[in-house]
Structure 1
Amino acid sequence: MPDDFKEDALAYHAHPIPGKISVEITKPAETQRDLSLAYSPGVAEPCREIAADPATAYKYTGKGNMVAVISNGTAVLGLGNLGALASKPVMEGKALLFKRFAGINSIDIEVDTEDAQEFVDTVARIALSFGGINLEDIKAPECFEIESQLIESCDIPVFHDDQHGTAIVTASGMVNALEIQGKQIENAIITCLGAGSAAIACMRQLVSLGAKRENIFMLDRRGVIYAGREGVNKFKAEFASDTDKRSLTDAVTGADAFVGLSGAD
């Protein structure tokens, strides 16, 4: 990244107000009556309604248009495990995108733990405040279990962007690229460099569209993930190939498509 762009990026985040998001009020708050409706004693009435019928929280509060962007900072962009606090600019950035392009209010939450169960327990306990949860920048394989448990325990939508957001865009590009080349996804040989959350989610998405698992060759830092290879977790094992291919050179030979989903190293 050029030095002048680095300086611009830092200045963008620092000035004129640090950060990229803020809170705005949606009701008048100018008179004594306004304030008595917004807080005591008027606020008691929606509280009673929600206590009697929790679904009315969507009528009387901002819950329905509020998404929490939540991370523990264990897989920040291509930078790796920077920790929860260092992930905050990314999470604020995602909140900015929600507001700018969809009109959805969003708040970033950084959870300072690398323990998957602690993360799940923390998020599950605050989930009722939001209309949806966007998980972000959580390393594999923990991200799969975290998302699965939160979907099971929360009654609002839970979405891990690194998996499904990447998969949706990749699948769209793949389908169009194959069509341009006059090829069918059912017959396409696909090499996937990377075996983290994005890679596995992308390949799952392609399989759902008709790609054959036996036509997908996935590589991690140790090379091709093949049947019988030791030290392969259950998520990578979904794409363990019955093949004698071992290197990236082997895997791209004869491939119709290459999907790059690995870190810099």
Structure 2
Amino acid sequence: MTDCSKHSGADILMDPHRNHGVAFSQKERAELGLRGLLPPVPASSEQQVARMHEMLSRIELPIDKAMFLDSLHAHDESLFFRLLIERTEEYMPIVYTPTVGEVCQRFSHIFRYPRGLYISINDAGQVRELVENVPNEEVDVIVVTDGQRILGLGDQGLNGMGIPVGKLSLYTACAGIDPAKTLPVVIDVGTNNQEYLNDPLYLGLRHERITGERYAALIEEFVQEVRRRWPNVLIQFEDFGNHNAFELLHRYQEKILCFNDDIQGTAAVTLSGVYSALRIKKETLAEQRFLFLGAGEAATGIATLIVDALVDEGMDRAEAYKHCCLFDSKGLVTASRTGLAANKLPFAHDLDSADKFIDAVRLVRPTCIVGVAAQPGAFNSEVLREMAAINEHPMVFALSNPTSRAECDAETAYRETDGRALFASGSPFPPVDVCGKHFVPRQGNNCYVFPGLGLGAVFAKATWMPDGMFLTAARELAKLVSEEDLAQGSLYPSLGEVRAASVKIGAAVADYAYRHGLATADRPDDLEAAVAAFMYKPE
């Protein structure tokens, strides 16, 4: 009996879901066979968080902080999430962007703790066995990638697993999705990144990417098998290449509970920032013209949601499309161009051609430029000064990440527009003092919306997620930006408020599901309170 008790206690200390380290009370230590296995005096939650923060403060490099936090996640999950929740602004950039980009690039060299599900093209026809091997009895949210287009870094192959792991940490920290009910997944079909193919430590398949029917069949097998085991699971497609991203969303959006964060989540958080900026400009959405540097998933996703918002506000859809223009690797997307991808066609207008972005700015005369092409420095002095000449308050959204891929930094945006820019970014930038003003730029970070979107959909057990849910999330987030935020140039609330924001967004999304007949769970009398109570708390 004694040996069994000791063995049980040791097992608990090795299980990140059950281990609470020195926080176990004396009573728990006696009941669980932990006496003698821990220092004798229990510590409070506050002491544990303070200890971890002190240790992290001694680590200089963000990648090293990320590895420390990964170790903590692997052995004491509740402490990891307490730290992330209580110090969100400080540690979210470590757990996710921009540091997650470096984590992915070095994933095969720093791999230590198996986490999630790995499916390769060699597993075709056997995916059920792999899914059955997953220890999670229940899964509410899956984030899956094939690693083809990780952030602005391109093809990362299996190394892209860092993205699902990071995203799901935010699902828990920001929206209270139970970590025991989350599953990161990477689908390895090879990589076209020659550096990884030559890397002796690379953990993925060493051949070029498999495409076509074999690829589609593997994705279908994955979808069917995870939904067979967990029928209500939400699948978030993440960082797929442009063609596959649009194809998968088109194939599955109205059939299963899923969404693509790069297309739809980015759209919602960007539109929310636009709504905040319009409060400063004291203008309507219908008065705006948008020019996108980039024409892939993020650009057309954002543009499409802006069109949906304009239509919802009473504008004819054909007219609404004219408010958004795209600039891709071949120049301004116009009606005279041939061979355009399907996602670009609605935004191909009768305009003169422009081969340089500055010429497109002069031609379109946008009120807002949106950078989503991972071209660092593309919003240069010439572009920013032209935007300032056209607009009293130019909207400058430099959304590419990580930081090394940003179209411009906050200081440049404010300086080159004489402090008149309304700025949002994809990566964090420090406060800026320009022209006698103090600015606090904030990220147009998807973590403001995708956790709340998932929370609402999971709570209501929605059957699928129409575009109206993303418009709802964008508007709900914009309501949470205070006048004090706007006065300092912040188009989003503090990241420290993201968990409270997720409750509001989750309730609004669930309400949309109930009102539109998409929910299969019973509606509670007090929806917001029920959503808040549903959230995991690391206690």
State the 1:231 CA deviation: 3.1
- Asked if 1:72 is matched to 2:156, the reply is no
Aligned partners of 1:4, 1:141: CA distance in 2, in Å? 36
Q: Name the structure 1 match of 2:175.
A: 102
Deviations 1:200-224 (A, max 9, x none): 1100000111172112221111111
Structure 1 residues 244 and 13: CA distance shift in structure 2, 3 A? same
Q: Name the structure 2 match of 1:264.
A: 375
Contact 1:19 1:92 in 2 (8 A): no
Q: In structure 2, what residue type is equivalent to 1:248?
A: F
Q: Name the structure 2 match of 1:135.
A: 237
State the 1:14 CA deviation: 5.2
Q: In structure 2, what residue type is equivalent to 1:146?
A: L
Q: In structure 1, what residue type is equivalent to 2:238?
A: E
Quote the RMSD (CA, aligned, Å).
2.5
Q: Name the structure 2 match of 1:124.
A: 223
Q: In structure 1, what residue type is equivalent to 2:62?
A: F
Structure 1 residues 124 and 6: CA distance shift in structure 2, 3 A? closer
Structure 1 residues 16 and 123: CA distance shift in structure 2, 3 A? closer
Contact 1:214 1:242 in 2 (8 A): no
Identity among equivalent positions (%) equals 26
Contact 1:150 1:158 in 2 (8 A): yes
Deviations 1:97-131 (A, max 9, x none): 12222232210111123535134313322231332
Match of 1:199 among 299, 305, 315: 299
Aligned partners of 1:251, 1:245: CA distance in 2, in Å? 8
Q: In structure 2, what residue type is equivalent to 1:251?
A: A
Q: Pick which of 198-207 and 242-251 moved more.
A: 242-251
Deviations 1:242-262 (A, max 9, x none): 101413112222211111111
SS in 2 for 1:209: helix
SS in 2 for 1:217: strand
Contact 1:68 1:106 in 2 (8 A): yes
Q: Name the structure 1 match of 2:342.
A: 234
Q: Name the structure 2 match of 1:86.
A: 159
Structure 1 residues 95 and 194: CA distance shift in structure 2, 3 A? same
Structure 1 residues 165 and 119: CA distance shift in structure 2, 3 A? farther
Contact 1:75 1:137 in 2 (8 A): yes
Deviations 1:38-60 (A, max 9, x none): xxxxxxxxxxxxxxxxxxxxxxx
State the 1:175 CA deviation: 1.6
How do 1:41-60 residues align onto structure 2 when only pairs under 5 Å count? none
Contact 1:91 1:136 in 2 (8 A): yes
Q: In structure 1, what residue type is equivalent to 2:325?
A: F
SS in 2 for 1:210: helix
Q: In structure 2, what residue type is equivalent to 1:145?
A: E
Contact 2:115 2:184 in 1 (8 A): no
Structure 2 unmatched runs, 5+: 1-59, 75-111, 117-135, 190-209, 312-319, 377-539
Q: TM-score, normalised by structure 2?
A: 0.38
- Asked if 1:189 is matched to 2:262, the reply is no
Match of 2:276 among 168, 173, 176: 176
Q: In structure 2, what residue type is equivalent to 1:90?
A: I
Q: Pick which of 86-95 and 205-214 moved more.
A: 205-214
Count of residue pairs the alignment pairs up: 221
Contact 1:72 1:87 in 2 (8 A): yes
Q: In structure 2, what residue type is equivalent to 1:216?
A: C
State the 1:230 CA deviation: 2.5
Aligned partners of 2:272, 2:348: CA distance in 1, in Å? 24
Structure 1 residues 197 and 205: CA distance shift in structure 2, 3 A? same
Q: Pick which of 122-131 and 136-145 moved more.
A: 122-131
Deviations 1:179-205 (A, max 9, x none): 311222112111111111111110000
- Asked if 1:158 is matched to 2:258, the reply is yes
Contact 1:21 1:95 in 2 (8 A): no
State the 1:160 CA deviation: 0.7
Match of 2:357 among 229, 233, 248: 248
Aligned partners of 2:73, 2:351: CA distance in 1, in Å? 57
Q: Name the structure 1 match of 2:95.
A: none
Aligned partners of 2:113, 2:176: CA distance in 1, in Å? 19
Structure 1 unmatched runs, 5+: 23-60
Deviations 1:56-110 (A, max 9, x none): xxxxx954x5211111011111111111x20111111111112222232210111
Structure 1 residues 194 and 119: CA distance shift in structure 2, 3 A? farther
- Asked if 1:146 is matched to 2:248, the reply is yes
Q: In structure 2, what residue type is equivalent to 1:184?
A: T
SS in 1 for 2:310: coil
Contact 2:147 2:186 in 1 (8 A): yes
Q: TM-score, normalised by structure 1?
A: 0.75
Structure 1 residues 153 and 216: CA distance shift in structure 2, 3 A? closer
Structure 1 residues 16 and 183: CA distance shift in structure 2, 3 A? closer
Contact 1:127 1:133 in 2 (8 A): no
Q: Name the structure 2 match of 1:32.
A: none
Q: Pick which of 130-139 and 3-12 moved more.
A: 3-12
